[in-house]
Amino acid sequence: MKETIVFVHGMSHGAWCWEENFIPYFEPLGYRCIAFDLPGHAKQGSTKAIHFSIDDYVHALADIVDALEEAPILVGHSMGGMIVQRYIAKGKCKKVILMSSVPPSGVLLPSLRVLIRHPGALKFLFQANLLGVFKKYPNLMFGSNVNKTSYANRMCAESFWAYLQLMIPIRNLKKGLPMLVMGGQEDQLISVLECKQTAKAYGAELALMEGGSHDLMLDSNGKIYLDLIHAWLKNPA
């Protein structure tokens, strides 16, 4: 039976972020790939305010996984990584890959870093407009990616309520699952130190990508990352 990979996107993204590189890579290798839109994220470029909670997002993932006969491989990016971490506390899963993931300690420190480096982001936070931050500072997500403007235009509004809940640390970590923590060394949102802390907290393998941005799945040299993931999936030990 084919192994199933369920991809969980991050803040203001959608299933589209996995469709350019990841799904075309893994499907020919025999994996069944499922990428879905979190609630409120189906319309690319939407600026309409949404008001979902992190639990709403975790339930959306649970609905996907519960419909599967076998436990899947879960891949979570950024906020999606936190959704996966919360889901695996009780849900079924075979292996986990956290990419540029919100650490178990939450997003308070990453948020403060952004405000220190980009004080212009503060006005958008007062407006509960996270999308405004990402559009004004696309390097936060995409680094030096030549397509960063077009990617930023595909991003949608994010729930500020969900963002605030990302401040809450995870107290009870689900350990023991095979897990790979990946981070970009040029990530302007989640630091290398935070990736190391996440890997240590779970006893997971750590892979730091030289030159990698926050959106590793859209980096131009992402083939290297994909090969690394595939090798880990074949031999996670």
Fold of 4-234: Rossmann fold (3.40.50)
pLDDT score of 172: 86
Helices (H), the chain: 16-19, 22-26, 54-66, 79-87, 108-117, 122-126, 130-136, 139-142, 148-154, 160-165, 192-202, 222-234
Domain range annotation of the chain: 4-234
pLDDT in tens, 136-192: 999 999 999 999 999 999 999 999 999 999 999 998 898 999 999 999 999 999 999
pLDDT score of 107: 97
Q: Is-contact 37 65, C-beta < 8 A? A: no
Q: Is-contact 72 3, C-beta < 8 A? A: yes
Q: Which residues of the chain have pLDDT under 50?
A: none
pLDDT score of 1: 62
Residue 114: partners with Cβ closer than 8 Å, 6 or more residues away: 121, 133, 137, 140, 188, 189
Q: Is-contact 222 21, C-beta < 8 A? A: yes
* DSSP per residue, 44-90: TT--------HHHHHHHHHHHHHT-SS--EEEEETHHHHHHHHHTTT
Residue 221 C-alpha from the chain's centroid: 18
Residue 28: partners with Cβ closer than 8 Å, 6 or more residues away: none
pLDDT score of 149: 95
